[in-house]
Amino acid sequence: MSQQVAQVDTLFLHEQGENVRVAVQRDGQRVLDAILELKETSAGPRPARLRVKKGSSEEPTSPDQFVELARQATRIRISEQTSERGRARLKEMLDAYQLEAKVVRTCRYCASAGEYSPITSETAIEADEEYICPDCAIEELERELAYHGDVTGSARDRLEDLLLDVQDLDRITNLLAGDLDPELTKFDEISATVDEVDPVPTDSLSLHPGIQTKLEDRFDTLLPVQSLAVENGVTEGQDQLVVSATATGKTLIGEMAGIDRVLNGKGKLLFLVPLVALANQKYNDFREEYGDVVDVTLRVGSSRIGGDDNRFDPGADVIVGTYEGIDHALRTGKDLGTIGTVVIDEVHTLGEGERGHRLDGLISRLKYYCEVERTVAQRHDGRPGAHDAGDTQWIYLSATVGNTSELAETLGAQLIEFEERPVPIERHVTFADAYEKVDLEDKLVKRAFDTKSSKGYRGQTIVFTNSRRRCHEISRKLQYSSAPYHAGLDNKRRKRVEQQFADQELAAVVTTAALAAGVDFPASQVIFDSLAMGIEWLTVQEFHQMLGRAGRPDYHDKGTVYVLVEPDGSYHNSQEMTEDEVAFKLLKGEMESVMTRYDENAAVEETLANLVVAGGQAKRLNARMLGEIPTKHAIGKLLEYEFIDGLDPTDLGRAVCRHFLSPTEAFLILDQVRKGADPYEIVAELQLREEEL
C-alpha cells in the first residue's frame, strides 16, 4: 500500500450509491481501485472503511489509508455525476483534513468503472442525453457496428471520424439505421472549376456553310473545350484525344469536324460508341440536327438498323455505330466507303475487360481499312476522298483517363485536356443493409424531385444498380414516377423513357451501366444502389464516369451523388472485397491508367480477326495495337484449333470471328452440336457459363 501511495498522481472520487468509488491514477493509468464507506460523526462525515479491489474480490484496509492516499495525491477530483448531497459530504470530509478537491466533468461510463476521465466541451460526446469520453463513445459505436456485420477499417475510420467531429453518438447510430442527415452523409465536394480559355466565336470557324450556319444559329461562341480543340487544329484534320468532364461539350468537337469533312467531300463520318442505347440516341440526335444536309445510318450488333427498321446503309454520309457493329462489318468484308473522320466516344473502354481488347483490335483494323481504301481511292480519279493514304482524321473522346499523355502518344493523337467542371458535385456516403436501400432511394428521389433549381428544373435522379432485374425491382417500389432503363429494353421503349425524362415526367430512371457511358439524361442526382456491375466491382474510372452524370450547367446549381453502402456486403462469392471496402477505395482512388491487357483467349480472338480482315498484314496490325499480343503464340494456337490454315482463315475460323466467339465458347458450341443438342440448349449452356464466370 505504501508503494502505491508514493505513486499517487490523481485521486478520483465518484458517488456509487451510499458509498464512494475511489480510483488512484499515475500517468493516466489506474494503480488502485477501491470502495470508500463513509460514516456520520458529530464532526461530520468521515472514512469508515476502505475496501481495495483485488481481482474479483475486495480486501478491507484501514480507513486511515484513504486519508494517506488523499494527502499524497497531486490533485483530488470529484466526478460531476456525483449528487449535490454527495459532493457536499465529500468536500466537508476533505476540508476536515485540509484537502482541496475540484468538481470536474467526467465520463459516466469511465466513472462507473473507476476510471478518471475528465471531458471538456471539445471532447465530450453526447450519448443518451448525457456526455461520455471519446474512448467510451467509440466502444459503444463498435458494439453498434457488430449488429451491422463486419464493417471494415475504412468504414470504421469514417464513422469514428464523424463521431469525433459531431460529438453525438446517437446521430452516428441513426446514420447506420438509414438516417439521411446531410451533414453526416457528406463525404466531400468536388468544386466547380473554370479554366480560362478565350471562347472561339462560331462565325469565325470558316466551316462548310451546311454546318457553319447550324452552329451560328445555335451558339454565339464555342464552349472552352471546343475552343481549345479548334485552336489546336481539330477543324483542320488534326487527330486529337479530348479528355474533359461530362457535359463540357466534347461530342460537338467530333460533330463539327466530321460533318465539315463530309460536306467538303473528304469522306464520311463514323461516330462510334460502346452501347446500343447510346448509339440509338446519337443516331436520333444526328438525324434531327443534320438530317437535312447529310444521310445518317445506324450500325449496331451484327446487322441492321435504324429505329424506324431501315436497314444499315453503308453508303450513308454518317454512320453511327457500336464498336461491335462496325467491327462486324469489317470482319464480314462490308464496304464502308471512304472514311474521312472516325470519332471514338468513351475511348477509356480500351481499359475494360472483354470490351477493351475488342476496341483495341477495332481501331487497328479500322485504320488498316482506311489506309487501304484511301490507297484505292488514289488510283481512281474522281472518287471522293482521293487524298494521301492514311488521311482519315481520328478523334477520341473521354471523361475519365488516368494516363492521358501516354494514351495520346500511343494513339498518335494530340492531347486536348480540359479540367473544368461546370457545376460542383457533393458526394455522400451512407450505410444500409440491402433491404433498406430502396427506402432510402425513395426518400432521396422524392427530396430531389420536390426541389427546383434556380434555372427552374426539378431534381431528377439516375439510380445505378447491378442487374436488369434489380432495375425493375427498384423502379416498382419508388413512389414517384420512374422507369427502368437498360439494354434489354427495345429501342421504342428506351426512346419513350428518354423523352419522358427530358420532359420532366419521370423523377428517376433506374439503370445498369448503359447510362454511365454517356446517354444524355440531365440528372441532378446519382444514387449508387450497388458498387458492382454484374458480379464485378466498379473501377475508379467507371465510378467517376457514372457519378459525372450528376449536375448539368444549363439545368442545375449542383450535382449530388449518394453512395449506399452495405456493410460486409458482396454480390458474388468470387468478390474478395466487401462493399464498404470498395466504397472508400473508389471515393479516394486515383483514376486508373487506360491499358489493354491480353490473356490467351483475347490474343487469339484479335489475331484471328486481324487475319480475317488483313490477311498477311495481321502481324503489322497486332504490332500497333495498344496492348501487347504474343503474335507467334497466338498464331500457333489458331493453327492448333484449326481456325487457320497457314495464314488463311478456315470456314470454322471465319464463323468464330464473325460471331465474336472466344476459343472456349467456340469449342463449347462445337461439342454441343456434335452431341446433337437442341440450339436452345446450346444457348442456355453459353448463358450458364457466362453467369459462372
Min mean pLDDT across 27-36, 521-530, 605-614 is at 27-36
Q: DSSP letter for 519, please.
A: -
Q: Is the pLDDT of residue 382 over 60?
A: no
| Pick from 124, 113, 106: nearest CA to 163 | 124
Specify the higher pLDDT residue, 367 or 155. 367
Average pLDDT for residues 612-619, to the nearest whole number? Answer: 92
Same domain as 408, residue 271: yes
CA-based radius of gyration for the chain: 35
In this prediction the pTM is: 0.75
Q: Residue 317 falls within a domain, yes or no?
A: yes
Same domain as 217, residue 337: yes
Same domain as 571, residue 507: yes
Q: Can you give the pLDDT at residue 690?
A: 60
Min mean pLDDT across 45-59, 228-242, 562-576 is at 562-576
Same domain as 484, residue 584: yes
Q: Can you give the pLDDT at residue 643?
A: 94
Query: What pLDDT digit, counting tens, does each position of 398-455 carry?
Result: 988 888 999 999 999 999 998 777 789 999 999 888 888 999 999 999 999 999 999 9
**If you write DSSP's letter for every residue of 65-129 in order, what string do you get?**
HHHHHHHH-SEEEEETTS-HHHHHHHHHHHHHTT---EEE-B-HHHHHTT---B--TTT-EEETT
Q: Residue 595 falls within a domain, yes or no?
A: no
Q: Match 466504397 to its residue by C-alpha cell.
A: 583
Q: Which of 141, 162, 177 is the last residue of a domain?
A: 177
Task: Please list, residue by residue across 388-408, b when 16 or more beta carbons sit within 10 angstroms of its beta carbon and e when fewer do.
Answer: eeebbbbbbbbbbbbebeebb
Question: Is the Cα dihedral 417, 418, 419, 422 positive or negative?
Answer: negative
Same domain as 345, residue 488: no
For the chain, what is the largest distance between any 2 Cα atoms, rounded to a whole number of angstroms?
Answer: 126
CA dist., res. 297 & res. 270, Å (int): 10
Q: Exposed, middle or buried by CB within 10 Å (0-12, 13-18, 19+), for 245?
A: buried
- Residues whose CB falls within 8 Å of the CB of residue 640, separated by 6 or more in sequence, listed in order: none
Position 330 confidence tier, pLDDT thresholds 50, 70, 90? very high
Q: Left (φ > 0), alpha (ψ -120 to 50) or beta: where does 466 sit?
A: alpha
CA dist., res. 444 & res. 610, Å (int): 49
Same domain as 542, residue 397: no
Same domain as 518, residue 458: yes
Q: Is the pLDDT of residue 523 over 70?
A: yes
Q: Is the pLDDT of residue 377 over 90?
A: no
Q: Residue 193 falls within a domain, yes or no?
A: no
The C-alpha torsion from 315 through 316 and 321 to 326, rounded to 10°, is 10
- The pairing of strands 296-299 and 318-322 is parallel
The C-alpha torsion from 191 through 195 and 196 to 201, rounded to 10°, is -110
CA dist., res. 548 & res. 545, Å (int): 5
| Pick from 423, 401, 420: nearest CA to 560 | 423
Q: DSSP letter for 350, please.
A: G
- At residue 668's C-alpha, the angle toward residues 663 and 670, to 5°, is 95
Q: Give percent above pLDDT 70 in the chain.
A: 92
Average pLDDT for residues 641-660, to the nearest whole number? Answer: 92
Q: Is the pLDDT of residue 304 over 50?
A: no
Bridge partners (DSSP) of residue 33 are 23
Q: Is the pLDDT of residue 389 over 70?
A: no
Task: Please list, residue by residue across 246-275, b when 16 or more beta carbons sit within 10 angstroms of its beta carbon and e when fewer do.
Answer: bbbbbbbbbbbbbbbbbbeebbbbbbbbbb
Same domain as 169, residue 256: no
Average pLDDT for residues 568-577, to the nearest whole number? Answer: 75
Q: Can you give the pLDDT at residue 128?
A: 83
Q: Can you give the pLDDT at residue 380?
A: 59
The grid coordinates listed for 98 are: 485540509
Q: Is the pLDDT of residue 388 over 60?
A: no
Q: Is the pLDDT of residue 373 over 80?
A: yes
Query: What pLDDT digit, counting tens, does each position of 99-137 carry?
Result: 999 988 888 788 777 677 788 888 888 888 888 888 889
Bridge partners (DSSP) of residue 396 are 241, 344
Q: Can you give the pLDDT at residue 327?
A: 95
Q: Residue 183 falls within a domain, yes or no?
A: no
Q: DSSP letter for 298, please.
A: E
Q: Left (φ > 0), alpha (ψ -120 to 50) or beta: where does 623 sit?
A: alpha
Q: Is the pLDDT of residue 208 over 50?
A: yes
Same domain as 271, residue 406: yes
Same domain as 430, residue 411: no
Q: Residue 182 falls within a domain, yes or no?
A: no
- Residues whose CB falls within 8 Å of the CB of residue 88, separated by 6 or more in sequence, listed in order: none
Residue 518 belongs to what domain range?
Answer: 425-588
Three-state DSSP class for residue 571? coil
CA dist., res. 614 & res. 611, Å (int): 5
Average pLDDT for residues 375-386, to the nearest whole number? Answer: 55
Position 303 confidence tier, pLDDT thresholds 50, 70, 90? very low
Query: What pLDDT digit, counting tens, does each position of 44-78 carry?
Result: 999 999 998 887 778 888 888 899 889 988 889 88
CATH number at residue 30: 3.30.420
Mean pLDDT of the chain: 87
Q: Can you give the pLDDT at residue 311?
A: 66
| Pick from 151, 251, 260: nearest CA to 206 | 260
Min mean pLDDT across 47-56, 238-247, 291-300, 620-629 is at 47-56
Q: Can you give the pLDDT at residue 54?
A: 80
Same domain as 376, residue 238: yes
| Max mean pLDDT range (138-142, 406-410, 669-673) | 406-410
Contact 250, 225 (CB under 8 A): yes
Cα→Cα distances 471→205, 433, 483, Å: 45, 17, 8
| Pick from 205, 249, 247: nearest CA to 230 | 205
Specify the higher pLDDT residue, 174 or 463. 463
Same domain as 441, residue 543: yes
| Pick from 207, 206, 210, 166: nearest CA to 185 | 166
Chain centroid, CA 580 distance in Å: 13
Q: Residue 138 falls within a domain, yes or no?
A: yes
Q: Is the pLDDT of residue 462 over 90?
A: yes
Q: Can you give the pLDDT at residue 306?
A: 40
Q: Is the pLDDT of residue 516 over 70?
A: no
Q: Which of 418, 450, 471 is the last residue of a domain?
A: 418
CATH number at residue 564: 3.40.50.300
| Pick from 661, 643, 660: nearest CA to 652 | 643
CA dist., res. 383 & res. 266, Å (int): 10
Bridge partners (DSSP) of residue 268 are 339
Query: What pLDDT digit, counting tens, does each position of 464-515 carry?
Result: 998 899 999 999 999 999 999 987 888 789 889 999 999 999 999 999 876 6
Q: Is the pLDDT of residue 157 over 80?
A: yes
Q: Is the pLDDT of residue 292 over 60?
A: yes
Average pLDDT for residues 84-98, to the nearest whole number? Answer: 92
Contact 50, 66 (CB under 8 A): yes
Average pLDDT for residues 324-342, to the nearest whole number? Answer: 94
Q: Which of 553, 588, 623 is the last residue of a domain?
A: 588
Q: Can you give the pLDDT at residue 6?
A: 53
Structural domain total, the chain? 5
Q: Is the pLDDT of residue 241 over 80?
A: yes
Q: Residue 197 falls within a domain, yes or no?
A: no
